[in-house]
Chains A and B, each alone.
Chain A
Amino acid sequence: MNVKRFFLSLSLLGFSAAVATAATTLMSVQVNKTDLRETPSYLGKVVTSLVYGDKVSIQSQNGAWYQVTGNSRSGWVHSSVLTPKKIVMKGDSAAKTTASSGEMALAGKGFNSDVENQFKANHKEINFAPVDKMEKIKIPISEIQEFAKEGKLQSTGGAK
């Protein structure tokens, strides 16, 4: 992550004083759901779950993993789940005064379920059922681990 740019972005928005004195970097969870883990690895024990828009403070970095505090717990998440943008949820008071921009993102805005529903109404020939079904296929990490072991897959580095 480009920390300098992040701080610059925040200062442009008038948050610089608060953030600089606290000396912490805040980031937001940009995926629907993710797990906070004890170690920087997908094999690490899950400490708690984080959801879209949750704010975390960065403690340290190890490769592509960040040690963060979020949901009152400390643990590790992969960098792909985080964004330096502040994600403003619909219920947030800030949602009344901000618009989406390079530094902010309003959750649920733009292409969303309303737009998908309108698309469905316009294109009845397109069936979303197989997509809904495939999205439910989630192989538990324990099974993936067993699968790798059985197949003698010797993984190295990466997002492990």
Chain B
Amino acid sequence: MNLRNLTALSLCILVSGCGTLEKISEIGTGLAEASGAITADQAKSINTSAGAIDKASESMTPEQEYYIGRTVAATILSQNKPFDRQALTTYLNTVGQYLALFSDKPETFGGYHFLIMDTPDINAFAAPGGLILVSRGMLRCCESEDALAGVLAHEIGHIELNHGMLAIDKSRYSAVVTTLLAEGAKNLAGSNVAELTKAFEGSISDITSKMVNSGYARKYEFQADKAAIIILQRAGYSPTGLISMLTQMEKQLKPGGHDFAKTHPAPKDRIDQLNKLLTQSPNMAGSFVARQKRFSAAMREL
């Protein structure tokens, strides 16, 4: 997969560490106050609270996360066309939206939605807010609904744990907060939109380059696997489905590939970690048979 265009989104953003936020906001409010955008009282209250906003990520609401997720998904889908098969997509969403109900974050601003990418690469992405993209190559690693549930639960785990948003460089947050402080409650002026869009483009680039090129830290992947096990067990799927899928993936991954071969820990390492967890948990095997018929029927479209 050619991802040069994705990295081309990277923009040089004025980097200002969080420690300087208070200073920046004072400048920002000073300017806003001088221009009449805010009152002196407002400026005072803003400057007082700026220290608290040092934890700038806290100012990132689920609503803003939603807009980031939409653009991350659109960016990835511009490189990987959707695989439009209605019945299969409905099946994928039924399994996925069922699983999401059992996560610790069952509801997001815009909800969980699932789509297939038309590529033989073995890939899956969880855009912030709940937009989950799974490749045809990844679906081919699944031999049962429980295995598919394993893939989706892992991606839901990334969303529950906020991994996408954590990839955003802190400097983007400062830019957002500074702009917000200056503009207060007024409608966004054109220049503010331009500045926010720069921080937005930077955030999208941070997330997509992490998800597509470098991959998350190994510990994030193991955390997502752990979250997946919990979700699967609560939902009544066998967590061993995830292990079966990883076993298949190990066979199908091509060394040097620009997919999970590059961005994820080796399937064997993930299986080893999962096996450690599963010895501590009951195996909720359930009935594979009841699910196999509908799985096979849906996957015929693949």
Residues on A facing B (Cβ under 8 Å): 30-32, 34, 42, 52, 64, 78, 80-81, 83, 85, 87-88, 95-103, 105-116, 118-119, 122-123, 125-128, 130-131, 133-135, 137-139, 143-144, 147-148, 150-160
Contact = CB atoms under 8 A, between A and B. Distances in A.
Interface stretch (B109-117, B241-249, B254-262): B109-117
Contacts of B68: 111
A154 B82 CA distance: 32
A131 B77 contact: yes
Given A125-B5, A131-B73, A109 B107 contact: no
A116 B67 contact: yes
B215 interface: no
B180 interface: yes
B284 interface: yes
A80 B194 contact: no
Contacts of A134: 73, 82, 113-115, 131
The binding surface of chain A is classed by DSSP as loop
A29 to B, nearest CB: 10
Closest A-B pairs by Cβ, 7 of them: A158-B234, A153-B236, A158-B102, A111-B64, A118-B197, A152-B290, A159-B106
B61 interface: yes
B286 A96 contact: no
Contacts of B234: 155-160
Contacts of B180: 99-100, 106, 109-110
Contact of B46 (A52, A99, A122, A144): A99
A5 to B, nearest CB: 12
23 contacts: A31-B108, A34-B107, A78-B106, A97-B41, A98-B185, A99-B184, A99-B185, A100-B53, A110-B176, A111-B68, A111-B200, A112-B188, A123-B9, A134-B73, A134-B82, A137-B113, A144-B101, A147-B95, A153-B98, A153-B235, A153-B237, A155-B234, A160-B234
Given A125-B5, A131-B131, A151-B294, A116 B108 contact: no
Interface residues of B, number: 83
Given A80-B107, A112-B63, A159-B106, A144 B97 contact: yes
Interface in B61-78: 61-64, 66-68, 70-71, 73-75, 77-78
Interface stretch (B12-20, B86-94, B263-271, B272-280): B86-94
Contacts of A105: 59, 61
Contacts of B71: 116, 119, 126, 128
Nearest to B235: A155
Contacts of A155: 102, 234-236
Contact of A150 (B67, B82, B286, B294): B294
B82 A114 contact: no
Given A97-B185, A131-B74, A137-B114, A111 B67 contact: yes
A133 B82 CA distance: 11
Interface of B: 5, 9, 38, 41-42, 45-46, 49, 52-53, 55, 58-64, 66-68, 70-71, 73-75, 77-78, 82, 89-90, 93-95, 97-98, 101-111, 113-115, 131, 145, 176-177, 179-181, 183-185, 188, 193-194, 196-197, 199-201, 203-204, 230-231, 233-237, 284, 286-287, 290-291, 294
Given A42-B106, A126-B75, A100 B113 contact: no
A148 B64 contact: no
Contacts of A107: 61, 63
A74 B75 CA distance: 41
A126 B103 CA distance: 31
Contacts of A128: 70-71, 74
Contacts of B98: 139, 144, 147-148, 153
B293 to A, nearest CB: 10
A101 B9 contact: no
Contact of A112 (B58, B64, B287, B290): B64
From A98, A118, A156, residue with most partner B Cβ within 10 Å: A118
Contacts of B237: 153
Contacts of B185: 88, 95-99, 106
